[in-house]
Amino acid sequence: MNQLANALGAKFVENKELLRIRTFDFNGVTFKVKVPLTAESDLMYERNRVIDDSLVLKFYGDMAREFIENTERYANDSEIIYKDDDIIVKGISLKETAKNKVLTQNRILDLFKLIVPEDASFDMNAITYQDIDDNFPFNIQLELLNKISEVIAPGYIQTKGK
């Protein structure tokens, strides 16, 4: 506890964590989200800077399989370029796409971990991206990602100009 917390009093100290909880409704479900402290946001940012290269390679392998197995069929297609370590399809790198998929999944996972569970004994740090993917289609994940982002940083999207 610091001087400011002491100055704000016992009620503040007692309810400090509750002040960080915000809610939003999504299709009839009310979600509670814990707004991260700056240090927690910084840790999320740092975690997302580290990319699991083995996962990128797995996703790349999945995306590239069709093109690798059917090289002859695509040999004359000018929109498919084979490089030593990548395949470019219509100007888009499959490796870069795989990397973006990992980054997106990491971001979704980090923001979903901010949701306050109904069962207070459940540790949201235990969830995996697979848990999220098993329960929400990707487009719903993106909508929830936007809702969580808006509730923890209101107006940020408008400020960024999107």
| Chunked mean pLDDT (size 10), the chain, 162 residues | 77 76 95 93 89 96 95 92 95 97 95 95 96 97 95 68 54
Residues 6+ apart with CB under 8 A from 114: 33, 34, 35, 36, 124, 148, 152
Q: How far is CA 138 from the centre of its chain?
A: 11
Q: What is the pLDDT of residue 50?
A: 87
Residue among 116, 109, 115 nearest 131 (CA): 109
Secondary structure letter of residue 108 according to DSSP: H
| Domain ranges, ordered by start, for the chain | 19-152
